[in-house]
Amino acid sequence: MNELTRLIDSTTVDVSTACLRLLVSFLLGAVIGAERQARRREAGLRTFTLICLGSTMSMLVSIWIPQTYPNFLNGDPGRIAAQVLTGIGFLGAGAIIQSRGSIHGLTTAAGVWVVAVIGLAVGAGMFLPAIILTILTVVVLTTLEYFEKRALSGGVNKILVVVCSTADPDIAAIRRIFDCHQIYVISNSYEIDYTTDTAILTCKINIDSRSPYTALFTDLRRTGFVVQTKIVD
């Protein structure tokens, strides 16, 4: 127990301290990664765990350099850790997908950035703040979505399927109809069948539970290219 306390409180980096911090980093990164994996997001368990481990190791190297080379005056060792967040920006950008005006993956990209910060905190020996940040991150990812989609908008989540008679429908026109009916689009997917020149737009929407679907369906059909619509739970 005394040895564990020494490792936790240590401000210097040795093999034992580095191993402990990497282990903690592995666990915290895996917790957030498991949540993203369960939701089948762009970055999952392996990605988040590796980011957290890499960030922790970068911070360990940043601490180890001035500790081992006290006369090293030609550079700033802190740059190693600082550049982690810059590099993570490119990785986060890879998690963001833009398709026909719709953007997906922003939450996952933000999670990638946060897990890098958690890794840096663990590498610096800030175990308690890192654990608290991990818990808060999981709460945000799991709980606030329900609050955002249900409590704030006061509606219910449904799946809207729109079948179009053309492979290149006017998505802007559909969005204007959604706005007119105060429909919030949570996510959507787009499938094109070039053999039949048709498209299927599947949207996860939040809509007022008292809203009549008939008016929505009528407005969608008036576009001229929507041939079929249906809503499922």
Mark whether 26 and 106 lie in a shared domain: yes
Q: Is residue 4 part of a domain?
A: no
CATH, residue 183:
3.30.70.260
pLDDT at 104 (0 to 100): 62
pTM over 0.85: no
Structural domain containing residue 48: 13-142
Mark whether 55 and 130 lie in a shared domain: yes
Q: Is residue 3 part of a domain?
A: no
DSSP letter assigned to residue 195 = T
Segment 20-24 mean pLDDT = 93
Backbone angles phi, psi at 204, to 5 degrees: -90, 115
Mark whether 98 and 162 lie in a shared domain: no
DSSP characters over 151-173: IIT--EEEEEEEEESSSS--HHH
User: Which of 108, 142, 176 corresponds to the end of one domain?
Assistant: 142
Mark whether 135 and 194 lie in a shared domain: no
Q: pLDDT confidence of 56, banded at 50, 70, 90? A: very high
| Of residues 108, 99, 129, 56, the one with CA closest to residue 189 | 99
Q: Is residue 175 part of a domain?
A: yes
pLDDT at 76 over 70: no
| pLDDT, tens digit, 9 for 90 and up, residues 139-184 | 988 887 767 655 555 677 788 899 998 888 888 888 888 888 888 8
Range with the poorest average pLDDT among 12-16, 73-77, 162-166, 208-212:
73-77
Mark whether 75 and 168 lie in a shared domain: no
Q: Is residue 132 part of a domain?
A: yes
Instruction: Give dist(CA 150, CA 22) in Å, integer.
Output: 39
Number of domains in the chain: 2
Q: Is residue 105 part of a domain?
A: yes
Q: pLDDT confidence of 197, banded at 50, 70, 90? A: confident
Mark whether 123 and 227 lie in a shared domain: no
User: Which of 91, 115, 142 corresponds to the end of one domain?
Assistant: 142
Instruction: Give dist(CA 170, CA 132) in Å, integer.
Output: 46
Mark whether 105 and 176 lie in a shared domain: no
Tokens 């089948």 belong to residue: 40
Mark whether 33 and 127 lie in a shared domain: yes
Instruction: Give dist(CA 169, CA 200) in Å, integer.
Output: 10
Mark whether 22 and 90 lie in a shared domain: yes
pLDDT at 33 over 50: yes
Mark whether 94 and 30 lie in a shared domain: yes
Range with the poorest average pLDDT among 40-49, 93-102, 121-130, 214-223:
93-102
Mark whether 53 and 107 lie in a shared domain: yes
Q: Is residue 6 part of a domain?
A: no
- Tokens, residue 74: 């030609």
Mark whether 24 and 117 lie in a shared domain: yes
pLDDT at 49 over 90: yes
